[in-house]
Amino acid sequence: MGDPVRPPAHAGHGGVLELARLALSALVLGVAGCRDERPRATAFPVPGQDGPRLTVEVLNASGKPGLARSGVRVLRQAGIDVVSFGNAPATVGILDSSRIVIRRPAAGSGDRIRRALGVGRVVVQADSTRLLDASVLLGADFAPRLKFHP
């Protein structure tokens, strides 16, 4: 009769592919194990991160257009939560100097706002009907030095 039938021989690449698969698995595990799990620092302070959270409104009482928006940026960079901004009512008039009106007295809140702005006189006028800690009335003395912001 003839020769016995033999199964076909494999090409012999199984060992190389298995080594490549193991090397790739080790690389993926190594990269995953080297991840940095520390919390990332934010570009600006988060309100309440550096002390008690302060909620304020910023009102432009200087007559200079756009000053309230600049005040908002300065206060937010200092970690103070600005909940609203705009022009002061006409009854306030034009102010030469800024005022920080404390609505809910808390230790150091007026000083913290004044440090952030660089100007202002702190006045306490408690008002429990307002849902904020302070009203900031920006006068003509407020001249922020901000980085360029498009």
Question: Any idea how long the chain is?
Answer: 150
Q: Which residues pair with 82 in a beta bridge?
A: 56
Tokens coding 94: 């034009």
Angle at 146 (CA atoms; ends 140, 58), nearest 5 degrees: 50
Q: Between helices 67-77 and 109-117, what is the axis angle to 10°?
A: 120
Q: What are phi and psi of 121, to 5 degrees?
A: -110, 130
Share of the chain above pLDDT 70, in %: 75
pLDDT digits (tens, 9 = 90+) for 41-71: 555 555 555 567 899 999 999 999 999 999 9
Tokens (6 digits) for 67: 């000053």
CATH number of the domain located at residue range(s) 55-138 in this protein: 3.30.70
pLDDT single digits (tens) 56-115: 999 999 999 999 999 999 999 999 999 999 999 999 999 999 999 999 888 789 999 999
Q: Is 116 exposed, middle or buried (0-12, 13-18, 19+ CB in 10 A)?
A: buried
